[in-house]
Structure 1
Amino acid sequence: MRFWIKAVGMLVTTGGIMAATLVNGPAASATPSPCSVYDASISNLDGGYGVMKGSYNLKKGPYADRCGNVTRLGRGRVIYFHCWVRNGRGNLWAYGRVKGTAKYGWMSIDNFSSVRHSNYETCRPNADRDHT
Protein backbone atom coordinates (compact mmCIF):
# COMPACT_ATOMS: atom_id res chain seq x y z
CA MET A 1 0.00 0.00 0.00
CA ARG A 2 2.80 2.42 0.89
CA PHE A 3 4.43 1.87 -2.49
CA TRP A 4 1.25 2.92 -4.30
CA ILE A 5 0.90 6.07 -2.20
CA LYS A 6 4.50 7.09 -3.01
CA ALA A 7 4.04 6.24 -6.69
CA VAL A 8 0.86 8.33 -6.95
CA GLY A 9 2.57 11.19 -5.11
CA MET A 10 5.47 11.14 -7.58
CA LEU A 11 3.06 11.14 -10.53
CA VAL A 12 1.14 14.11 -9.11
CA THR A 13 4.39 16.04 -8.53
CA THR A 14 5.67 15.25 -12.04
CA GLY A 15 2.32 16.24 -13.54
CA GLY A 16 2.42 19.54 -11.67
CA ILE A 17 5.89 20.34 -12.96
CA MET A 18 4.90 19.49 -16.52
CA ALA A 19 1.74 21.62 -16.27
CA ALA A 20 3.73 24.58 -14.94
CA THR A 21 6.16 24.23 -17.86
CA LEU A 22 3.30 24.21 -20.36
CA VAL A 23 1.72 27.31 -18.80
CA ASN A 24 4.93 29.30 -18.28
CA GLY A 25 7.02 27.90 -21.12
CA PRO A 26 10.54 26.53 -20.79
CA ALA A 27 13.10 28.57 -18.92
CA ALA A 28 14.91 30.93 -21.28
CA SER A 29 18.17 32.71 -20.87
CA ALA A 30 17.68 36.42 -20.11
CA THR A 31 20.51 37.53 -22.36
CA PRO A 32 22.12 36.01 -25.43
CA SER A 33 25.53 34.38 -25.13
CA PRO A 34 28.34 36.92 -25.59
CA CYS A 35 29.87 34.41 -27.98
CA SER A 36 26.98 34.55 -30.46
CA VAL A 37 25.75 38.15 -30.38
CA TYR A 38 27.39 39.11 -33.68
CA ASP A 39 26.52 37.62 -37.05
CA ALA A 40 30.07 38.12 -38.26
CA SER A 41 29.91 35.30 -40.80
CA ILE A 42 27.94 37.48 -43.20
CA SER A 43 29.76 40.71 -42.41
CA ASN A 44 32.81 40.80 -44.70
CA LEU A 45 33.29 44.52 -44.23
CA ASP A 46 37.05 44.87 -43.78
CA GLY A 47 39.79 44.31 -46.36
CA GLY A 48 42.67 44.22 -43.91
CA TYR A 49 44.71 41.46 -42.32
CA GLY A 50 46.82 40.78 -39.26
CA VAL A 51 49.94 38.74 -38.52
CA MET A 52 50.08 36.72 -35.28
CA LYS A 53 52.86 37.68 -32.84
CA GLY A 54 52.71 34.37 -30.97
CA SER A 55 50.67 31.21 -30.53
CA TYR A 56 47.04 31.95 -29.58
CA ASN A 57 43.61 30.33 -29.77
CA LEU A 58 41.19 31.45 -32.46
CA LYS A 59 37.95 31.84 -30.51
CA LYS A 60 34.21 31.27 -31.14
CA GLY A 61 33.41 34.73 -29.76
CA PRO A 62 35.11 37.95 -28.65
CA TYR A 63 36.04 36.82 -25.11
CA ALA A 64 39.13 34.77 -24.28
CA ASP A 65 37.69 33.20 -21.12
CA ARG A 66 34.00 32.88 -22.05
CA CYS A 67 34.05 31.54 -25.61
CA GLY A 68 35.31 28.20 -26.86
CA ASN A 69 38.26 27.62 -29.17
CA VAL A 70 38.15 27.06 -32.92
CA THR A 71 41.83 26.17 -33.33
CA ARG A 72 45.29 27.20 -32.14
CA LEU A 73 47.29 29.49 -34.44
CA GLY A 74 51.05 29.86 -34.36
CA ARG A 75 53.32 32.86 -34.72
CA GLY A 76 53.32 34.38 -38.21
CA ARG A 77 49.88 33.07 -39.25
CA VAL A 78 47.71 35.57 -41.12
CA ILE A 79 44.05 36.34 -40.46
CA TYR A 80 42.00 38.18 -43.09
CA PHE A 81 39.63 40.52 -41.25
CA HIS A 82 35.89 40.63 -41.86
CA CYS A 83 34.87 43.01 -39.06
CA TRP A 84 35.63 44.20 -35.52
CA VAL A 85 33.94 44.57 -32.12
CA ARG A 86 34.83 46.06 -28.77
CA ASN A 87 33.61 43.54 -26.19
CA GLY A 88 31.96 44.39 -22.87
CA ARG A 89 35.39 44.69 -21.23
CA GLY A 90 36.58 47.28 -23.74
CA ASN A 91 38.90 44.92 -25.67
CA LEU A 92 39.05 45.11 -29.46
CA TRP A 93 38.50 41.81 -31.34
CA ALA A 94 38.59 40.96 -35.04
CA TYR A 95 36.49 38.33 -36.77
CA GLY A 96 38.10 36.76 -39.81
CA ARG A 97 39.40 33.83 -41.80
CA VAL A 98 42.77 32.15 -41.36
CA LYS A 99 44.79 32.46 -44.58
CA GLY A 100 44.89 29.25 -46.61
CA THR A 101 42.04 27.63 -44.65
CA ALA A 102 38.27 27.69 -44.27
CA LYS A 103 38.57 28.38 -40.52
CA TYR A 104 36.81 31.48 -39.17
CA GLY A 105 36.89 32.93 -35.68
CA TRP A 106 37.74 35.76 -33.33
CA MET A 107 41.16 37.08 -32.32
CA SER A 108 42.09 39.89 -29.93
CA ILE A 109 44.00 42.80 -31.44
CA ASP A 110 46.56 42.26 -28.66
CA ASN A 111 47.66 39.02 -30.38
CA PHE A 112 48.78 40.64 -33.65
CA SER A 113 52.31 41.86 -34.32
CA SER A 114 50.94 43.95 -37.18
CA VAL A 115 47.58 45.02 -38.58
CA ARG A 116 47.52 46.12 -42.23
CA HIS A 117 44.97 47.94 -44.40
CA SER A 118 42.16 47.61 -41.87
CA ASN A 119 39.28 50.07 -41.63
CA TYR A 120 38.10 48.53 -38.30
CA GLU A 121 34.53 48.22 -39.57
CA THR A 122 32.09 47.12 -36.85
CA CYS A 123 30.45 43.67 -37.02
CA ARG A 124 26.67 43.72 -37.25
CA PRO A 125 24.58 42.27 -34.41
CA ASN A 126 22.45 39.22 -35.17
CA ALA A 127 19.09 40.41 -36.51
CA ASP A 128 17.16 37.73 -34.61
CA ARG A 129 18.55 38.58 -31.18
CA ASP A 130 17.20 41.06 -28.65
CA HIS A 131 19.97 43.56 -27.82
CA THR A 132 18.12 45.78 -25.34
Structure 2
Amino acid sequence: MWHIIRTLAVLTAAGTITGALTMTGAVTAPAEAAIAGSCPPIAVSNQHAGYGIMKGRFNLKVGPYAGPRCKTVASVGKGKKIYFHCFTRNSHGHLWVYGRVKGTGITGFMSMDNFSFTYYGKPLSYC
Protein backbone atom coordinates (compact mmCIF):
# COMPACT_ATOMS: atom_id res chain seq x y z
CA MET A 1 0.00 0.00 0.00
CA TRP A 2 2.85 2.43 0.84
CA HIS A 3 4.31 1.90 -2.66
CA ILE A 4 0.96 2.82 -4.26
CA ILE A 5 0.62 5.97 -2.15
CA ARG A 6 4.22 7.00 -2.89
CA THR A 7 3.70 6.38 -6.63
CA LEU A 8 0.51 8.44 -6.62
CA ALA A 9 2.30 11.25 -4.80
CA VAL A 10 5.07 11.27 -7.43
CA LEU A 11 2.57 11.26 -10.30
CA THR A 12 0.47 13.98 -8.71
CA ALA A 13 3.54 16.15 -8.10
CA ALA A 14 4.57 15.66 -11.73
CA GLY A 15 1.09 16.77 -12.85
CA THR A 16 0.29 13.49 -14.61
CA ILE A 17 -2.81 12.71 -12.57
CA THR A 18 -5.64 15.17 -12.98
CA GLY A 19 -8.40 13.15 -11.37
CA ALA A 20 -8.97 12.10 -7.78
CA LEU A 21 -8.20 9.05 -5.70
CA THR A 22 -11.41 7.50 -4.49
CA MET A 23 -12.03 5.36 -1.41
CA THR A 24 -11.75 2.27 -3.64
CA GLY A 25 -8.28 3.30 -4.81
CA ALA A 26 -9.32 4.07 -8.40
CA VAL A 27 -7.45 6.84 -10.17
CA THR A 28 -8.67 8.97 -13.03
CA ALA A 29 -5.73 9.81 -15.28
CA PRO A 30 -5.45 12.01 -18.37
CA ALA A 31 -6.89 10.53 -21.56
CA GLU A 32 -3.50 10.28 -23.28
CA ALA A 33 -2.17 8.06 -20.48
CA ALA A 34 -5.05 5.66 -21.04
CA ILE A 35 -4.12 5.11 -24.68
CA ALA A 36 -1.33 2.55 -24.84
CA GLY A 37 1.60 3.78 -26.88
CA SER A 38 0.53 7.41 -27.06
CA CYS A 39 3.07 10.19 -26.63
CA PRO A 40 1.56 12.95 -24.48
CA PRO A 41 2.17 16.54 -25.60
CA ILE A 42 4.33 18.55 -23.19
CA ALA A 43 4.44 22.35 -23.20
CA VAL A 44 8.08 23.44 -23.04
CA SER A 45 9.98 26.65 -22.33
CA ASN A 46 13.64 27.61 -22.52
CA GLN A 47 14.85 28.43 -19.01
CA HIS A 48 18.59 28.36 -19.96
CA ALA A 49 19.29 26.16 -16.94
CA GLY A 50 22.50 24.32 -17.81
CA TYR A 51 23.73 21.43 -19.92
CA GLY A 52 24.64 17.76 -19.92
CA ILE A 53 27.29 15.64 -21.66
CA MET A 54 26.09 12.38 -23.19
CA LYS A 55 27.59 9.18 -21.73
CA GLY A 56 26.78 7.15 -24.85
CA ARG A 57 24.65 7.23 -27.99
CA PHE A 58 20.97 7.69 -27.10
CA ASN A 59 17.81 8.83 -28.87
CA LEU A 60 16.43 12.33 -28.43
CA LYS A 61 12.64 11.93 -28.31
CA VAL A 62 9.53 14.07 -29.01
CA GLY A 63 8.23 13.20 -25.54
CA PRO A 64 9.52 11.87 -22.21
CA TYR A 65 9.28 8.13 -22.97
CA ALA A 66 11.78 5.59 -24.29
CA GLY A 67 10.99 2.95 -26.88
CA PRO A 68 8.31 3.30 -29.54
CA ARG A 69 5.86 5.31 -27.40
CA CYS A 70 7.40 8.63 -28.52
CA LYS A 71 9.08 9.15 -31.88
CA THR A 72 12.83 9.67 -32.13
CA VAL A 73 14.00 13.15 -33.19
CA ALA A 74 17.70 12.28 -33.55
CA SER A 75 20.39 9.97 -32.24
CA VAL A 76 22.88 11.91 -30.07
CA GLY A 77 26.39 10.50 -29.65
CA LYS A 78 28.73 10.10 -26.72
CA GLY A 79 30.38 13.34 -25.60
CA LYS A 80 27.80 15.59 -27.26
CA LYS A 81 26.43 18.52 -25.25
CA ILE A 82 22.72 19.16 -24.77
CA TYR A 83 21.64 22.54 -23.42
CA PHE A 84 18.84 22.15 -20.88
CA HIS A 85 15.64 24.14 -21.32
CA CYS A 86 13.32 22.50 -18.76
CA PHE A 87 12.46 19.10 -17.27
CA THR A 88 9.53 16.81 -16.59
CA ARG A 89 8.79 13.42 -15.06
CA ASN A 90 6.94 10.78 -17.04
CA SER A 91 4.22 8.53 -15.66
CA HIS A 92 6.87 6.06 -14.45
CA GLY A 93 8.55 8.78 -12.35
CA HIS A 94 11.61 9.02 -14.60
CA LEU A 95 13.23 12.43 -15.02
CA TRP A 96 13.59 13.75 -18.57
CA VAL A 97 15.08 17.03 -19.76
CA TYR A 98 13.99 19.02 -22.80
CA GLY A 99 16.90 20.64 -24.56
CA ARG A 100 18.85 21.51 -27.70
CA VAL A 101 21.88 19.73 -29.12
CA LYS A 102 24.84 22.15 -29.17
CA GLY A 103 25.57 23.63 -32.59
CA THR A 104 22.19 22.63 -34.01
CA GLY A 105 18.55 23.63 -33.87
CA ILE A 106 17.60 20.06 -32.91
CA THR A 107 15.48 19.88 -29.76
CA GLY A 108 13.76 17.10 -27.86
CA PHE A 109 13.57 15.10 -24.64
CA MET A 110 16.46 13.09 -23.19
CA SER A 111 16.42 10.89 -20.11
CA MET A 112 18.61 12.28 -17.33
CA ASP A 113 20.02 8.74 -16.98
CA ASN A 114 21.88 9.26 -20.29
CA PHE A 115 24.27 11.98 -19.11
CA SER A 116 27.77 11.40 -17.71
CA PHE A 117 28.03 15.00 -16.52
CA THR A 118 25.50 17.75 -15.83
CA TYR A 119 25.90 21.42 -14.97
CA TYR A 120 23.15 23.71 -13.71
CA GLY A 121 23.68 27.46 -13.98
CA LYS A 122 20.41 27.92 -12.12
CA PRO A 123 17.72 25.53 -10.85
CA LEU A 124 16.13 23.49 -13.62
CA SER A 125 12.46 24.42 -14.06
CA TYR A 126 9.52 22.18 -14.93
CA CYS A 127 8.32 22.40 -18.51
Structure 1: 4+ residue segments shifted above 6 A: none
Cα distance per residue 1:55-97 (max 9 Å; x no partner): 0011110000210100101100000011000110000000000
TM-fit CA distance, 1:119 = 1.6
8 Å CA contact retained: 1:46, 1:121: no
Which residue does 1:64 correspond to in 2?
66
Which residue does 2:31 correspond to in 1?
31
1:1-132 equivalences under 5 Å are 31-32=31-32, 35-40=39-44, 43-65=45-67, 66-117=69-120, 119-123=123-127
Higher mean displacement: 72-81 or 111-120: 111-120
Instruction: Give the TM-score normalised by structure 2.
Output: 0.67
Unaligned runs of 5+ in 1: 1-29, 124-132
Cα distance per residue 1:84-121 (max 9 Å; x no partner): 00110000000000000000000000000011015221
State the aligned residue count.
92
TM-fit CA distance, 1:38 = 1.1
Tell me the percent identity.
Answer: 50
Quote the Cα distance in structure 1 between the aligned partners of 2:108 and 2:94: 16
Quote the Cα distance in structure 1 between the aligned partners of 2:64 and 2:31: 16
Say which structure is richer in helix.
1
State the superposition RMSD in angstroms.
1.6
Q: Which structure has the larger Rg over C-alpha atoms?
A: 1
What amino acid maps onto 2:49 in structure 1?
G
Unaligned runs of 5+ in 2: 1-29
